[in-house]
């Protein structure tokens, strides 16, 4: 009798190669998973999508009271509520997306183990699901800029580039942590602690000008710093810090490449580990 053969079904591309054509072929799945995450987020909530408005506004109000009364930032060129809200919108998007994406592969185990599709779509959909909140948040920010009489310059046209960098950075961490969480379930427990540290070492509620210049370079190795500095400069017509932006951009590209390679390297083991 002929021996039994084990047939391994894998995509045609190499293990460490990301096939963009294959991702494009599964774009409808990405859309449906993204829309599902949007609907599930506010399902059975009392005020629904109003949380998108209340959360950043209330947090901004609290920090405005604290920092305008107890820690005055004399170097700010814009009203503090605008400064805080512009950073908070990016942070809330990243915090929510990374938190949801980290557990996305585990929570979709039934889908992952039954049907083949590029698994990287699942954490990516979790990130894209937070874009609605980000868009609505920026509408609030633009309304406040009008209220405070901020002059709009041509630099605002560059703001989408820094938002795009934030999205890419979020996807990078999301696909890395989602795969790491498949092997080590401790990740989801440690994540809130590390996100809290990341928030404190990022210029979300304070400007980098409060630190001596020789210390500022350390903050640039936090890619979120360059994103926030560039976004605020474009929104409020200030000078760009090209050094910080360049360092952040290079780090984001590096993190995207490394996290993608790690995901592809581990992808074939998901069904066994999940």
List pLDDT tens digits, range 6-42.
545 455 444 555 667 777 888 888 888 898 888 777 6
| Rounded percentage of the chain residues whose pLDDT exceeds 90 | 45
Comparing 116-120, 172-176, 179-183, the range with the smallest average pLDDT is 116-120
Q: Report pLDDT for 72.
A: 62
Q: What is the pLDDT of residue 45?
A: 59
Looking at residues 186-191, what average pLDDT do you find?
88
pTM: 0.87
In 3D space, the residue among 182, 179, 223 whose CA is nearest the CA of residue 203 turns out to be 223
pLDDT band, residue 5 (cuts 50/70/90): low
How far apart CA 274 and CA 120 sit, in angstroms, is: 15
pLDDT of 1 > 50? The answer is no
* pLDDT range class, residue 174, cuts 50, 70, 90: very high
Q: What is the mean pLDDT of residues 93-105?
A: 93
Alpha helices in the chain (DSSP H): 20-25, 27-41, 51-69, 80-102, 104-107, 109-112, 121-128, 131-147, 159-183, 187-200, 213-219, 223-236, 242-266, 270-273
Q: How far apart are CA 230 and CA 244, in angstroms?
A: 8
User: What digits encode the pLDDT tens for the residues 192-219?
Assistant: 999 999 999 999 988 888 787 778 788 8
Q: Give the pLDDT score at 260.
A: 92
């Amino acid at each position: 009798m002929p021996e039994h053969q084990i047939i391994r079904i894998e995509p045609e591309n190499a293990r460490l190669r990301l096939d963009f054509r294959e991702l494009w072929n599964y774009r409808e799945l990405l859309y449906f998973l993204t829309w599902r995450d949007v609907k599930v987020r506010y399902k059975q909530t009392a005020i629904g999508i109003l949380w998108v408005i209340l959360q950043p506004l209330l947090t901004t109000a609290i920090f405005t009271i604290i920092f305008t009364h107890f820690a005055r930032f004399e170097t700010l060129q814009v009203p503090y509520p605008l400064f805080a809200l512009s950073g908070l919108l990016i942070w809330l998007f990243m915090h929510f997306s990374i938190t949801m994406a980290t557990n996305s592969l585990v929570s979709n185990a039934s889908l992952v183990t039954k049907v083949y599709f590029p698994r990287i779509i699942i954490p990516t959909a979790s990130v894209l699901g937070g874009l609605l909140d980000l868009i609505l948040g920026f509408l609030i920010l633009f309304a406040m800029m009008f209220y405070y009489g901020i002059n709009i310059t041509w630099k605002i046209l560059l703001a989408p580039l820094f938002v795009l960098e934030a999205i890419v950075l979020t996807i990078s961490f999301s696909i890395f942590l989602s795969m790491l969480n498949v092997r080590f379930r401790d990740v989801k427990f440690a994540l809130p602690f590390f996100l809290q540290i990341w928030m404190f070492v990022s210029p979300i509620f304070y400007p980098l000008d409060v630190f001596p210049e020789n210390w500022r370079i350390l903050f640039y190795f936090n890619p979120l710093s360059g994103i926030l500095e560039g976004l605020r400069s474009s929104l409020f017509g200030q000078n760009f810090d090209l050094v910080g932006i360049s360092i952040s951009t290079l780090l984001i590209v590096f993190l995207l490449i490394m996290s993608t390679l790690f995901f592809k390297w581990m992808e074939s083991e998901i069904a066994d580990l999940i």
